[in-house]
Amino acid sequence: MQRMAPVGARVNILAGGSLVGGALTVLALLLLWVLRAEGIWVALLLFPILIIATAPALMRQAERERDRNLFWLLLAALVLKLLGALVRYFVSFKIYRGAVDAVAYHEIATALAERFRAGNFDTGLDTLTSTNFISFFTGLVYTAIGTSVHAGFLLYSWLAFWGLFYLYRAFTIAVPGGSHRTYARLLFFLPSILYWPSSIGKEAWMLFALGLTAFGVARSLTGQTLRGLTTAGVGLWLAALVRPHVAGMAALGLAVAYTVGRTQRGRRPAGSAMKFLGAAALVALAVVLLSQTARFLEEQGLDPEEGVTAVLDQTTERTTRGDSSFAVPSAGFSPARLPWATVTILFRPFLFEAHNVQAGITALESTILLGLAISRARPIGRAVRSFRRLPYVTFVVVYAGLFVLAFSSIANFGILARERTQLLPFFLVLLAVPGVRAGRASPTSSAATASLPARGADDHQLARA
C-alpha cells in the first residue's frame, strides 16, 4: 500500500480532478450533440469521455482505502469492461450475424430517437417496462448522443461497470474484515461479467440496478438507515422496471438481513421500534414487487394462473433449444433439488459439457469458482452461521437462494451463463468474506469494524469536496 498525501492536499486534488473531469465530460457531450455524429465515430469519441467521467470516482475510492494502487486496478477494470463491449459487438454481429436481442433494441431506439428529435414524444409503446423500457431508454440515449449501435454497447457496458463499482463499495462498507482485493479481482475481471453485461440489453441494466441496491443495503446495515434504504429503494425501482421478480428477491433478502442482523441502529434505545417499522416496510415492498411478477410473466408469454410448477415447466420447454440445451429434472420447488440446482446455476457447464469456445471459457471459469468455493467451504460456513454479525452475508444468501429457485428451470447453458451475471457478484462475496466464528469476532474483523466511524467521517469530508 502506497503512502498518500496529507488530507488537505488529497481533498484539493480530488476536488480539482472532479471539476476538471466534469467540465471535460460536459464539453465532450456537447460536442457530440453539436456534431450529431453517427456510427463508429460516436463510439470513438465516447470511449475517452466515459473514462474521464469515471476517473474521479475511482480516485475517491482509492483515497477512501488509502491505496493508490487501487485506482490503477479500477481504471484497468473500466478499460477492460469497455473493451468487453467491443468483443460482445464482434461476437453479436460477426459470429451470430445480428441474431441477438440488441439489434431489436437498437432498431426501435433509432425510430424513437428520430421522433424525439422531431418533437414527437409519443413512443407508440404499450408499456415502458421490461423489454420496452430498454428500447425507450436507448432511444433517449440516442436522442442525446446520436444513433450508434457501437455507442449503445459502450454505454450499457459503462452502466454495468457502475453497478460493479457500487457492489465493490457495498462489500468494503458491509464486510470491512473481508478480503477487498480478492473480491475486486474476481468481481471486475471475471470473463463472464466482462462479456455478458456489455451490450444493449437487460443484463447491463440489471447489474447497474442491483449494484445500486447492494450499496444501499450495505449502508442500511451499517447505521445509515435512511440514506441506505433510500438508495436501495431507487435501485429496486430501477430493477423492477425490467425484472420485477429479481427486484422482489433482492427486497426480500434486504428485509431478512435487516430484521435478523445486528445493525448499529438496532443497538440504540429507539433502535428496536425503528427496526420493526423498517422491516415491515421492506416486507411490504418485497410483496409488492413480487406481485408484479404475474404481469411480467404474461409479457414473456407465460401463464401465471397455471401455478408455479407449470410456469417453470414452460420455462424449461422454451429454453430446451439449440446446441447449448441440457436436460433438467421436472420443475418445482422440491428441497431435494436445491443442491443440484445450486451447482447447475453457479458452476455449469462442466468442462466435459463444453462443445465450443464460448462454452469452454465459461466452463473453465466455473471450474475455478467451484475450486475456490470448495477450498473456502469452512470459512464460508462460519460466515453464514454468523448471520447476525454479518447481515450483508444474510442478504447475499437469501437473494442467492431465491435466485436459484427461480432460475432452476432454465435448460440452456448460453441463457444460464447470461442470466447468472445477476447472481455471480453476490456469490463472490462468499469467496472473500472473513470466516468469523459464531459468538465472537476475529481480531481482524473487530479492528476493521472499529475503524468504521473514521471511514465514514473521511467519506463525508470527500463528499463535501
Angle subtended at Cα 124 by Cα 119 and Cα 130, rounded to the nearest 5 degrees: 115
Cis peptide before 349 (omega within 30 of 0): yes
Phi/psi for 148 (5° steps) reads -160, 120
pLDDT band at 354 (very low <50, low <70, confident <90, very high): confident
Query: Is the confidence at residue 138, as pLDDT, over 90?
Result: yes
**Sign of the torsion angle spanned by Cα atoms 311, 317, 321, 326:** positive
Give percent above pLDDT 90 in the chain.
Answer: 47
Tell me the DSSP string of 310-376.
Answer: HHHHHHHHHH--STTB---PPPS--GGGHHHHHHHHHHPSPGGG--SHHHHHHHHHHHHHHHHHHHT
Cell numbers of 351, please? Answer: 468442462
Query: Is the confidence at residue 232, as pLDDT, over 80?
Result: yes
Query: Is the confidence at residue 450, as pLDDT, over 90?
Result: no
Average pLDDT, the chain: 79
pLDDT band at 446 (very low <50, low <70, confident <90, very high): very low
pLDDT tens digits along 321-349: 555 665 665 545 566 778 888 999 999 99
Better-scored residue on pLDDT, 434 or 374: 374
- Contact between 239 and 215 under an 8 Å Cβ cutoff? The reply is no
Tell me the DSSP string of 82-106.
Answer: HHHHHHHHHIIIIISTT-SHHHHHH
Tell me the DSSP string of 109-153.
Answer: HHHHHHHHHTT------S-SSHHHHHHHHHHHHHHHH---HHHHH
**Sign of the torsion angle spanned by Cα atoms 351, 357, 362, 368:** positive
Out of 219-228, 270-279, 356-365, 420-429, least confident range: 270-279
- Contact between 164 and 77 under an 8 Å Cβ cutoff? The reply is yes
Q: Give the pLDDT confidence score for residue 423 in this predicted structure.
A: 97
pTM: 0.82
pLDDT tens digits along 414-434: 888 999 999 999 999 999 988
Is 390 strand, coil or helix?
coil
Q: CA–CA distance from 375 to each of 98, 333, 348, 384, 424 (Å)? A: 41, 29, 18, 16, 18
pLDDT tens digits along 79-102: 999 999 999 999 998 888 888 999
pLDDT band at 7 (very low <50, low <70, confident <90, very high): very low
pLDDT band at 25 (very low <50, low <70, confident <90, very high): low
pLDDT band at 438 (very low <50, low <70, confident <90, very high): very low
Instruction: Report the C-alpha gap between 401 and 389 in whole angstroms.
Output: 20
Query: Is the confidence at residue 310, as pLDDT, over 50?
Result: no
Per-residue burial over 334-365, b if 16 or more Cβ lie within 10 Å, else e, is eeebeeebbebbbbbbeeeebeeebbeebbeb
Q: CA–CA distance from 193 to each of 160, 320, 423, 436 (Å)? A: 9, 24, 10, 28
Give percent above pLDDT 70 in the chain.
Answer: 68
pLDDT tens digits along 52-67: 889 999 999 999 999 9
Instruction: Report the C-alpha gap between 330 and 259 in whole angstroms.
Output: 34
Residue extents of the structural domains in the chain? 67-99+148-439
Q: Give the pLDDT confidence score for residue 49 in this predicted structure.
A: 85
CA 356 to chain centre: 27
Q: Give the pLDDT confidence score for residue 235 in this predicted structure.
A: 97
Instruction: Report the C-alpha gap between 333 and 407 in whole angstroms.
Output: 11
pLDDT tens digits along 384-415: 888 888 999 999 999 999 899 888 878 788 88
Q: Give the pLDDT confidence score for residue 63 in this predicted structure.
A: 93
pLDDT tens digits along 264-300: 544 554 456 556 666 666 667 666 665 665 555 455 4
Instruction: Please classify residue 325 by burial: count the beta carbons closer than 10 Å to its beta carbon, then call 0-12 exposed, 13-18 middle and 19+ buried.
Output: middle
pLDDT band at 311 (very low <50, low <70, confident <90, very high): very low
pLDDT band at 456 (very low <50, low <70, confident <90, very high): very low
Instruction: Report the C-alpha gap between 18 and 33 in whole angstroms.
Output: 22
Instruction: Please classify residue 270 by burial: count the beta carbons closer than 10 Å to its beta carbon, then call 0-12 exposed, 13-18 middle and 19+ buried.
Output: exposed
Instruction: Report the C-alpha gap between 398 and 423 in whole angstroms.
Output: 11
Pick from 82, 81, 106: which is nearest to 93 by CA?
Answer: 106
Q: Give the pLDDT confidence score for residue 67 in this predicted structure.
A: 93
Query: Is the confidence at residue 44, as pLDDT, over 50?
Result: yes
pLDDT band at 442 (very low <50, low <70, confident <90, very high): very low
